[in-house]
Amino acid sequence: MATTDIHPELRKAARFAPRRLITPLTLPVIRRLTVFQRARTDDVDILTLESGIGIRLYRPAGTETTAPALLWIHGGGYVIGTAAQDDLLCRRFVKELGITVAAVDYRLAPEHPYPVPLEDCYTALQWLARLPGVDADRIAIGGASAGGGLCAALALLARDRDGVKPVFQVLVYPMIDDRSVGTHLYNPGHRLWDATSNKFGWKAYLGGADPAVAAPARRTDLAGLPPAWLGVGTLDLFHDEDLEYAERLKAAGVPCQVHVVPGAFHGFDGIVAKADISTAFFYSQCDSLRESFGG
């Protein structure tokens, strides 16, 4: 399969998916549209922490003992998105693994640049560890796109601070490098997120912060991080930077399972969730999480 070939299961969706979703002009419009986003509330607890951070909490039915948990961080280029957008995914994790899942509504850039979104995620992690019924020694963290970037940054932050130490990190096509590295930055197979959107998202998130600190891929010391699962498609803008990060994790002694999907563009598993490649992508995450929890 050539580097520009879209996977057969994704070709129909690719015809309608935009190559660029976020720009300074479209940002206000997309944010307004998310206000009308509908999500089920019958089996989820919608909470607000003392800090003002929102949490959507999903629990397995009939669990009487302590169980592992996953802190999930939504994507959106650091500038859009809500925890509710991943309702279906979080429910699937609960059903498949029998764990508690907490999805965090962190504050968004550019109004709240680094380190605010990251600190929001850290606060949610500490809260989750104190939640009755959660095994504080078996908490994983995960996220997609910008959520994957925040997950990688959270793993680094938790390593460097006293407190909860996640046992695993799930990095779903994570947005981790503000330099937009790679050899196919303008690949015609890209969808949803391109190099122009990436520059805008990073500029909004970084504000005046030092990229060497704020961007996980720029961090030089990756030793001591929790084991990881990293997945990305070959037509994802983040493909090269993600695989490079995975290799650096391994070089630092951090186990990292890599799942590459040929012909898959950014966010493919959310757009065509029932495709075989999307299902395999999800269950690969589940298998790694289950192993990390000792199940």
The interaxial angle of helices 116-130 and 146-160, nearest 10 deg, is 70
Closest CA to 144 of 77, 58, 212, 80: 77
The yes-or-no answer on residue 269 being catalytic is no
The yes-or-no answer on residue 7 being catalytic is no
CA distance 35 to 187: 32
| Residue-level length of the chain | 295
> How many CA atoms, within 13 angstroms, populate the side-chain half-sphere of residue 51?
18
Task: Find the catalytic residue in 74, 266, 269, 292.
Answer: 266
Beta bridge partners of 142: 72, 170
Task: Find the catalytic residue in 105, 120, 178, 236.
Answer: 236
> How many CA atoms, within 13 angstroms, populate the side-chain half-sphere of residue 212?
2
DSSP secondary structure, 14-72, as one string = HHHS-S----TTTHHHHHHHHTT-----TT-EEEE-TTS-EEEEE--TT--S-EEEEEE
Tokens of 43: 């089996």
Query: Identity (one letter) of the amino acid at 93?
Result: F
The yes-or-no answer on residue 236 being catalytic is yes
Task: Find the catalytic residue in 74, 87, 145, 240.
Answer: 145
DSSP code, position 225: P
Strand 45-48 vs strand 54-58: parallel, antiparallel, or unpaired? antiparallel
Contact 170, 285 (CB under 8 A): yes
CA distance 90 to 291: 18
How many C-beta atoms surround the C-beta of residue 28 within 10 A? Answer: 9
- Which residues does the annotation mark as catalytic? 145, 236, 266
